[in-house]
A and B are shown apart, each in its own frame.
Chain A
Amino acid sequence: AQKITQTQPGMFVQEKEAVTLDCTYDTSDPSYGLFWYKQPSSGEMIFLIYQGSYDQQNATEGRYSLNFQKARKSANLVISASQLGDSAMYFCAMREGGSGNTPLVFGKGTRLSVIA
């Protein structure tokens, strides 16, 4: 079974608008971490934001915020005020276990295209 599900293969957003990229996860471990990465066409993976399973507040990093709904097992990425440079693949990932010492499992990704 997929541990990370990203149901949107592709998304379009108008420049300066906000966009939400969906991510649901599957785990029975009470301790886990959720990550979002951006991958531009150049291929490098850029870490954006992290949310821990015990965090009480949604994570925010500049224009990125994470809409964490634990009961629904969803960790959606919200990008505010989209810019042309936000056009990229976006991957949601999870690390299970309290020790922090297990590999990240990635979803299939969502390709975001920002339109001028």
Chain B
Amino acid sequence: EADIYQTPRYLVIGTGKKITLECSQTMGHDKMYWYQQDPGMELHLIHYSYGVNSTEKGDLSSESTVSRIRTEHFPLTLESARPSHTSQYLCASSEFGSGGENNSPLHFGNGTRLTVT
């Protein structure tokens, strides 16, 4: 089973606060991702990383930042929370593909449900 952990599970915070959502995995995966998902809706890619000191922007990256200083850790920071950030944030990891393989599935954490008041 996948070992990927997200904290906190739930967070209620006021507008304008700076918040960091934590994500850690113990599988040694090089690739890590952050997705945003409103309830019952599609997942939108925010940021991803292919390894230490590597970060890339997804479709919804403009209001957040990430860092990848250690393989196992991939935190997401919102500098100034807004009510529009209210959503579920899902962290995932996967192995690198090799030899033309596309078949590495994403292993997801349980998510952080963020409410900004």
Closest-by-CB residue of B relative to A33 is B102
- Cα(A56)–Cα(B1), bound, Å: 28
Complex Cα distance, B40 from A50, in Å, reads: 22
Q: Is the beta-carbon distance between B111 and A43 smaller than 8 angstroms?
A: yes
A-B contact count (CB 8 A): 67
Interface residue range, chain B = 20 to 34
Asked whether A91 lies within 8 Å of B42 as measured between CB atoms, the reply is yes
List of 6 A-B pairs having minimum Cβ-Cβ separation, nearest first: A100-B97, A33-B102, A45-B108, A47-B105, A106-B43, A108-B42
Chain A residues positioned under 8 Å from B102 (CB to CB): 31-33, 52-53, 95, 97-98, 100
Hey, which bits of chain A sit against chain B, CB under 8 A? 31-33, 35, 42-45, 47, 50, 52-53, 89, 91, 95, 97-101, 103-109, 111
CA A91 to CA B101, docked complex, whole Å: 21
Give chain A residues whose Cβ lies under 8 Å from the Cβ of B100.
31, 98-100
Do the beta carbons of A44 and B110 come within 8 Å of each other? yes
Query: Which of B88, B102, B106 has its CB near the most chain A CB atoms (within 10 A)?
Result: B102
